[in-house]
């Protein structure tokens, strides 16, 4: 079964969701992300994707205290992203309890630093973030589109030792219109050994099952569960 990874996106220490990365579309779902994480854990969820949206916008880690609480008070395997731009930031993330980090902007803007971290921490702890808009990689909380195209970007980093990629179709993120199956299938056809984590557009349990049938190793989802379109009870059958 595909690995199920709910997301907790954080602004001002609260659990929120955006639509297509637009901060103006922010909707608060819970004032206490730790409560949300504990509920996920109680239903058998093992993995959690935590995004520091304040960090992504301000170019440095902000919500490390929330990460620390989740890591200390649950047994969830947490990967953390958002605002990791310096060695100090990545150290804060790991010291705060992240077991993995997701890195996107650094991979685009400072490839030598990304390569250094990949060497230092290993490819089990470093997830390449590939946030895609019109086939190009977007950075800095999706506010900026880079000239890099998706497949050459992935090819270059897989050749450098990356084994885990979190790919988000920005046009679908938070829109509840279904995932980009064609996109994820094409990536897996080119790199069948890759641990690809699909993200963006999940609207119902059937979307997850379609990704599973397509052989996608893992999926991140958020708004569908917060809006009640997927229930934890539904998911518990597959855990």
> Is residue 131 within 8 Å of 168, Cβ to Cβ?
yes
Residue of 9, 79, 89, 207 with catalytic role: 9
> Is residue 67 within 8 Å of 77, Cβ to Cβ?
no
Query: How many residues in total does the chain contain?
Result: 239
DSSP strand pairing (195-199 vs 218-221): parallel
Is 131 one of the annotated active-site residues of the chain?
yes
Is 234 one of the annotated active-site residues of the chain?
no
> Is residue 34 within 8 Å of 66, Cβ to Cβ?
yes
Residue of 89, 131, 169, 207 with catalytic role: 131
Q: Could you give the residue numbers annotated as active site? A: 9, 131
């Amino acid at each position: 079964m595909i690995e199920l990874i709910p997301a907790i996106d954080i602004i001002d220490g609260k659990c929120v969701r955006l639509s297509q990365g637009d901060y103006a579309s922010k909707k608060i779902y819970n004032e206490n992300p730790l409560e949300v994480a504990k509920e996920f854990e109680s239903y058998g969820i093992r993995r959690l994707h935590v995004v520091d949206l304040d960090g992504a916008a301000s170019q440095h880690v902000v919500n490390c205290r929330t990460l620390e609480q989740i890591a200390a008070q649950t047994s969830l395997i947490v990967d953390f992203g958002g605002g990791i731009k310096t060695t100090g930031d990545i150290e804060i993330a790991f010291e705060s309890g992240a077991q993995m980090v997701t890195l996107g902007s650094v991979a685009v803007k400072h490839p030598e630093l990304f390569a250094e971290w990949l060497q230092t921490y290993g490819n089990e702890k470093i997830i390449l973030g590939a946030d895609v808009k019109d086939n190009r990689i977007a950075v800095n909380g999706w506010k900026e589109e880079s000239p890099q195209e998706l497949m050459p970007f992935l090819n270059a980093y897989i050749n450098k030792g990356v084994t885990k990629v979190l790919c988000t179709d920005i046009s679908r993120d938070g829109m509840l219109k279904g995932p980009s199956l064609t996109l994820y299938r094409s990536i897996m056809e080119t790199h069948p050994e890759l641990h690809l984590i699909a993200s963006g557009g999940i609207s119902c349990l059937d979307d997850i099952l379609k990704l599973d049938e397509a052989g996608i190793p893992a999926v991140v989802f958020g708004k569908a569960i917060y809006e009640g379109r997927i229930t934890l009870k539904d998911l518990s059958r597959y855990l």
